């Protein structure tokens, strides 16, 4: 059973930084792609970034390009989301997700497993 546990969320001022972590267990993830999504109150869950576990190739949403970076540490089975230059509109619950297959995807329905999320709040 795949388990994904997010951590690292919190309250930060605009312009600040946070690093989210997603600890993955229950599988060998070399054949998986991992993603980060976010959901603000009253809005849909939107794509943020994705990474192919084996190849390390990444994909970022236009809204976060140049500010957020997804990465993974295979030895720790952990995926990270480094978030810099945070804005109030980045406030949301951030979810980690996993999908079988090396291809990254920005489609929510492409992911098979989800974590419970971690809250990120950016104050102005």
Given this model, what pLDDT does residue 40 score?
A: 97
Half-sphere exposure of 81 (CA within 13 A, CB side): 33
pLDDT tens for the chain, 124 residues long, are 889 999 999 999 999 999 999 999 988 888 899 999 999 999 999 999 999 999 999 999 999 999 999 999 999 999 999 999 999 999 999 999 999 988 889 999 999 999 999 999 999 9
Q: What is the pLDDT of residue 78?
A: 96
pLDDT attached to residue 86? 98
Question: Torsion angle of alpha carbons 112, 117, 123, 124, nearest 10°?
Answer: 0
Residue 1 has what pLDDT?
Answer: 84
In the sheet with 3-7, reading across from the earlier edge strand, the strands are 3-7, 18-25, 78-83, 68-73
């Amino acid at each position: 059973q795949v388990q994904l546990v997010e951590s690292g969320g919190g309250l930060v001022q605009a312009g600040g930084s946070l690093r989210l972590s997603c600890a993955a267990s229950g599988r060998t993830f070399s054949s998986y792609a991992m993603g980060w999504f976010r959901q603000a109150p009253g809005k849909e869950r939107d794509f943020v970034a994705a990474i192919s576990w084996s190849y390390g190739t990444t994909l970022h949403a236009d809204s976060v390009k140049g500010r957020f970076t997804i990465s993974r540490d295979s030895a720790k089975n952990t995926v990270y989301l480094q978030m810099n230059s945070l804005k109030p509109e980045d406030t949301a619950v951030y979810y980690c997700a996993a999908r079988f297959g090396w291809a990254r995807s920005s489609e929510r329905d492409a992911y098979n497993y989800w974590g419970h999320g971690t809250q990120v709040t950016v104050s102005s």
